[in-house]
Amino acid sequence: MAVQTRRAAIVGGNRIPFARSNSRYARASNQDMLTATLDGLVARFGLQGAQVGEVVAGAVLKHARDFNLTRESVLGSRLSASTPAYDVQQACGTGLEAAVLVANKIALGQVESGIAGGVDTTSDAPMAINEDMRRALLAVNSAKTVQQRLKALAGIRPGQFLPEVPRNSEPRTGLSMGEHAAITAAEWEIGRAEQDELAVASHRNLAAAYDRGFFDDLVTPYLGLSRDENLRPDSSLEKVATLKPVFGKGDGATMTAGNSTPLTDGASAVLLGSDEWAASKGLPVLAHLVDAQTAAVDYVHGGEGLLMAPVHAVPVLLARNGLTLQDFDLYEVHEAFASTVLATLKAWEDAAYCKDTLGLDAPLGPVDRSKLNVNGSSLAAGHPFAATGGRIVATLAKLLHEAGPGKRGLISICAAGGQGVVAILES
Amino acid sequence: MSDWYRDFANSGVGTTITRQLGLPRPAVLRRYEPGQPLLPGPAVVGSAGAGRLGNRLTALLRDAGVAVQSLGAADVEDGERPAAVLLDATGLTGPGDLAGVHAFLAPAVKRLRRSGRVLVLGDPPTGAESPAQAAARQALDGLVRSVAKELRDGSTANLLLVPARTEESLAGPVRFFLSGRSAYVDGQQVTLSGAAGDVAQDELRPLAGTVAVVTGAARGIGAAIARTLHRDGAVVVVVDLPSAGDHLAEVANGVRGTALQLDISREDAGQRIIDHAVQRHGRLDIVVHNAGITRDKLLVNMDPARWESVIGVNIAAQLRINETLLASEHFRTTPRIVSVASTSGIAGNRGQTNYAASKGGVMGMVRATAPLLGAHGGSINAVAPGFIETEMTARMPFATREVARRLNSLQQGGQPTDVAEAIAFLASDAAGGISGEVLRVCGQNLVGA
Ligand SMILES: NC(=O)c1ccc[n+]([C@@H]2O[C@H](COP(=O)([O-])OP(=O)(O)OC[C@H]3O[C@@H](n4cnc5c(N)ncnc54)[C@H](O)[C@@H]3O)[C@@H](O)[C@H]2O)c1
């Protein structure tokens, strides 16, 4: 079979507003949110009863019952029940990775259309019984006689009832993501003021985008929320400057609740297809997914920061596409923490780091800050892990479309486990 | 929402009690369902004077599968009771001829079935040849409104004015008035102004092949309009505020249409509506301006914000969108616009100076825009609902709502579908002969009749 590839088109997106943890969506499950998000997408693009090639989505925090989360959501949605689906999970990279997977199948002609998405809830997060209890219960389950069973049950101790709450921490270091980011922030000497500035800009830009109706065809209200709950349009440098650091140690600590993303609940979905498919359905093409790259770093022993993998992925992507870092009209760098964005930009400008760590002849150079996260990002919108990729892809695709044909955008998303997913979109 | 009193009055005990006490007896109205015969029984056709429509009426009724009973008043004593009484009064020359109206209607109406229809066809007084003829023609208006008030059991009476050279477009409106689609239209008058009306090839899907946009469709009357247009065969684009997007998505998915989250008061609303309809569905044929808001206050206490928001959404936005539509090459083949006005805009309402002004404005706009659409073979009309059972009216205090509901000849509130049926009719080619009209769907509201 001759392999001919084509660029997958991004038709549009839908997400529900992101809610703060244990707030509006406290009672909504991942499946509820993903289903509602799919239905909103169906309504926007008239896909009732339609079979799309594949739906690919995932969640970072997942219940055991959600083993087939995406397919179950499809079955509960207004899409045709004969639409196949599968789950993916790559921590905070899940949403973008899902889009890349769908785009690749479209590029290869294996599907004509697909939906990529992601969802996460930190309110309805799974809680596991602790390891001792699990072993004790497994023993009860495997006991053959009543006597054996009673004996096994009698072995259960009060301490075993304590549940294991999922923590936002790295299994191999025991450090939270914020603590890791704080180490990187200190290493790269990222100051408090510049982090606060980035955070305030994120809120202002997101609020302005809402006000000009930018999200009218990207967001569908859910459970009484029609804008992201975390958004503070009146956020100011003075206000965020008063917040106490929550990550990092001592006087040098710079990371506060204001310049770090809060725990959030939400879901997003992006509709992709071949150009021909979009045209045959009368659907718009906002942009194309040109290429993507993942990378991973050894943050355990290798001395690299946990969230620095995108810094490594981007030069590979640029080289393959014959582009420089300055060849973009827009940049979307996921704001896990303000310091992460700033460290990323600083690293690309650092000649020694680019030579020694990235193995480049010259630094990638600066990113024009006026082209960065122009409609806000995760600091303002919030960051329901797997849902962030879909939010960014749809937002950037629409921005590029508004800017006119031939505009190029770069997406960079860091993820737990020392991973990163980056991609290029072009209108 | 449910009307407990109507249900009670139609129950076994309720019938006895309400009869004995002389209480209102709201009927369960005959409403349209696809596939239903036009009338549940025969029609009687008569005339006063030498009318010019009699044969046409009989023919169009037979075409519609209706049995027509003999023309003479004397015969109606025997046979099946009529489901409709039609009077051709286009032959009136002076008040003396009105005796013929009485002579025909009295015995015929007496035998009318439940949810029956009285439809009188006349000429507009303005074109009369003499003051006496104008008097007789105008007399029909008062007469029909009075008959409507006397009818019981869900029956209605309406007047259709058929100026010369509009006869070709008669069939659609006659069918509408006889059908269950006009269940809550009572005591009204509609004037034909063109000959372009055409009954649908596919009776079950009169809007097949058209693309329609409905604003304010996330709930209430707008959602009912979307469902009705979809039932009638249109591809429907539903529009509502971004903040109502979740309900809007449900409506869109229910009618297999597309949702457009848009504040209609935005500058570019018209263009966005056209772009969406044309890109997604290839064309745009029908626009229903239903989105509307109320911000009630007595005039003396009304702040500018209340005033401006109501004028802004209810009339300014419609005007601006219409301007864009009329300038667009995509809205040129029999384009149809239907606007939702309100009886408040006709009769006025305490605490609603802003709202009544805006709805009065809608009626003015419709009349003045009719020739502009006529240039493209299209039409524009308004529907003025009276008391309709929606979330909006469900929030009224109990006693006020009970009173408001009964203050009409049908002694009940209308359903959102009643408004929707009138709009679907006006959006169809069957109503091609009607433009610049305001049709009230109010059960003959006693206020400001
Ligand atoms: N219910 C009645 O008894 C009654 C009587 C007379 C007239 N009306 C008219 O009928 C229409 C529908 O009334 P309803 O009872 O269904 O009201 P409703 O309030 O239930 O629905 C109106 C819809 O319009 C939407 N809307 C408001 N402003 C908008 C804007 N700027 N852009 C887009 N959408 C907007 C709302 O979100 C809502 O979904 C209105 O024009 C109203 O004035 C209603």
What is the set of domains in chain B, with CATH numbers? 1-30 (no CATH), 32-191 (3.40.50.720), 211-441 (3.40.50.720)
- Looking up tokens 């001395």 gives A303
Give catalytic residues of B, as residue numbers: 355
Question: Pick from A39, A213, A282: which is nearest to B280 by CB?
Answer: A282
Q: How far is A270 from chain B (nearest CA, A)?
A: 16
Q: Is B257 on the interface with A (CB under 8 A)?
A: yes
pLDDT (0 to 100) of residue B133: 97
d(CA A281, CA B109): 54
The predicted-structure confidence for B155-192, as pLDDT tens digits, reads as follows: 999 999 999 999 999 999 999 999 999 999 999 999 99
pLDDT (0 to 100) of residue B386: 94
Q: Does any domain span residue A203?
A: yes
Q: Does any domain span residue A386?
A: yes
The predicted-structure confidence for A343-367, as pLDDT tens digits, reads as follows: 999 999 999 999 999 999 999 999 9
Largest interatomic CA distance in chain A: 75
The predicted-structure confidence for A76-128, as pLDDT tens digits, reads as follows: 999 999 999 999 999 999 999 999 999 999 999 999 999 999 999 987 766 66
The predicted-structure confidence for B114-132, as pLDDT tens digits, reads as follows: 999 999 999 999 989 999 9
CA–centroid distance, B402 to ligand 1, in Å, is 21
Query: Cβ(B182)–Cβ(B156) under 8 Å?
Result: yes
pLDDT (0 to 100) of residue A290: 97
Percent of chain A whose pLDDT exceeds 70: 92
pLDDT (0 to 100) of residue A303: 84
Q: Which residues of A touch B (CB under 8 A)?
A: 36, 39-40, 42-46, 48-49, 78, 213, 215-217, 219-222, 226, 282-284
Q: Best of B273, B390, B391 to mutate for ligand 1, by most ligand atoms within 8 A of CB? A: B390
Which pTM does this prediction carry? 0.91
The predicted-structure confidence for B3-20, as pLDDT tens digits, reads as follows: 778 888 888 887 777 777
CA–centroid distance, B293 to ligand 1, in Å, is 6
Residues of B within 8 A of A221 (CB-CB) are 242-246
Residue partners of B144: CB distance under 8 A and separation at least 6: B118, B120, B157, B158, B159, B187, B189
Residues of B within 8 A of A42 (CB-CB) are 249, 253
Average the pLDDT over A255-281 and give the result: 95
pLDDT (0 to 100) of residue A347: 95
The predicted-structure confidence for B266-291, as pLDDT tens digits, reads as follows: 999 999 999 999 999 999 999 999 99
* A226 → chain B, closest CA residue: B243
Domain count, chain A: 1
Amino acid making up residue B38 = L
Query: Cβ(B51)–Cβ(B91) under 8 Å?
Result: yes
Contact: B245, A220; criterion CB under 8 Å: yes
Q: Is the pLDDT of residue A129 over 70?
A: no
Q: Which of A369, A319, A324 is nearest to A344 (CA)?
A: A369
The residue nearest atom 41 of ligand 1, judged by CA position, is B292
The CATH number assigned to the domain holding A362 equals 3.40.47.10
Taking the CA atoms of B388, B392, B398 and B404 in sequence, report the sign of the dihedral they define: negative
Q: Is B273 on the interface with A (CB under 8 A)?
A: no
Rg, Å, chain B Cα set: 22
* B255 → chain A, closest CA residue: A48
Residue A4's pLDDT band, with cuts at 50, 70 and 90, is: confident
Name the average pLDDT for chain B: 93
The predicted-structure confidence for A314-323, as pLDDT tens digits, reads as follows: 999 999 999 9
Q: Does any domain span residue A349?
A: yes
pLDDT (0 to 100) of residue B269: 97
CA–centroid distance, A85 to ligand 1, in Å, is 39
Contact: B249, A220; criterion CB under 8 Å: yes
Q: How far is A192 from chain B (nearest CA, A)?
A: 36
Q: Does any domain span residue A419?
A: yes
Query: Cβ(B158)–Cβ(B177) under 8 Å?
Result: yes
* B278 → chain A, closest CA residue: A282
pLDDT (0 to 100) of residue A339: 94
**ipTM for the whole predicted complex goes beyond 0.95:** no
Q: How many CB atoms lie within 10 A of CB A5?
A: 10
The predicted-structure confidence for A133-177, as pLDDT tens digits, reads as follows: 666 666 767 777 878 777 777 776 766 665 555 566 778 888 888
Cα–Cα distance list, A360 to A319, A356, B280 (Å): 10, 8, 47
Residues of A within 8 A of B248 (CB-CB) are 43
Q: Does any domain span residue A221?
A: no
The predicted-structure confidence for B45-78, as pLDDT tens digits, reads as follows: 999 988 999 899 999 999 999 999 865 544 555 6
pLDDT (0 to 100) of residue B449: 36
pLDDT (0 to 100) of residue B80: 84
The predicted-structure confidence for A42-84, as pLDDT tens digits, reads as follows: 999 999 999 999 999 999 988 888 889 999 999 999 999 999 9
Q: Is B130 on the interface with A (CB under 8 A)?
A: no
Q: Which of A171, A183, A174 is nearest to A307 (CA)?
A: A183
Query: Cβ(B148)–Cβ(B186) under 8 Å?
Result: yes
pLDDT (0 to 100) of residue B448: 44
d(CA A36, CA B417): 27
Query: Which of ligand 1's atoms lies nearest the C-alpha of B414?
Result: 3
pLDDT (0 to 100) of residue A145: 80
Q: Is the pLDDT of residue B36 over 70?
A: yes
CA–centroid distance, A390 to ligand 1, in Å, is 33
The residue length of chain B stands at: 449
- Enumerate the β-bridge partners of residue B338: B288, B381
Average the pLDDT over B31-48 and give the result: 94
State the catalytic residue, choosing from A63, A92, A288, A354. A92
Rg, Å, chain A Cα set: 22
pLDDT (0 to 100) of residue A165: 55
Domain containing A183 equals 177-212+290-426
pLDDT (0 to 100) of residue B401: 85
pLDDT (0 to 100) of residue A164: 59
Question: Pick from A216, A221, A284: which is nearest to B246 by CB?
Answer: A221
Q: Does any domain span residue A361?
A: yes
Q: Is B282 on the interface with A (CB under 8 A)?
A: yes
Query: Cβ(A281)–Cβ(A288) under 8 Å?
Result: no
Terminal-residue alpha carbon distance, chain A: 30
Residue partners of A255: CB distance under 8 A and separation at least 6: A178, A181, A182, A185, A195, A245, A246, A247, A248, A337, A338, A339
Backbone angles phi, psi at A191, to 5 degrees: -80, 160
Q: Is B262 on the interface with A (CB under 8 A)?
A: yes
The predicted-structure confidence for A377-419, as pLDDT tens digits, reads as follows: 999 999 999 999 999 999 999 999 999 999 999 999 999 999 9
- Looking up tokens 């959602």 gives B223
Pocket around ligand 1: residues whose beta carbon is below 6 Å from it?
B 215-216, 218-222, 239-241, 244, 263-265, 290-293, 313, 340, 342, 385, 387-388, 390-393
Q: Does any domain span residue A165?
A: no
Question: Pick from B244, B259, B263: which is nearest to A43 by CB?
Answer: B259
Percent of chain B whose pLDDT exceeds 70: 97
pLDDT (0 to 100) of residue A174: 81
Q: Which of B254, B258, B226 is nearest to A281 (CA)?
A: B258
Residues of A within 8 A of B279 (CB-CB) are 282-284
Q: Does any domain span residue A92?
A: no
Contact: B245, A215; criterion CB under 8 Å: no
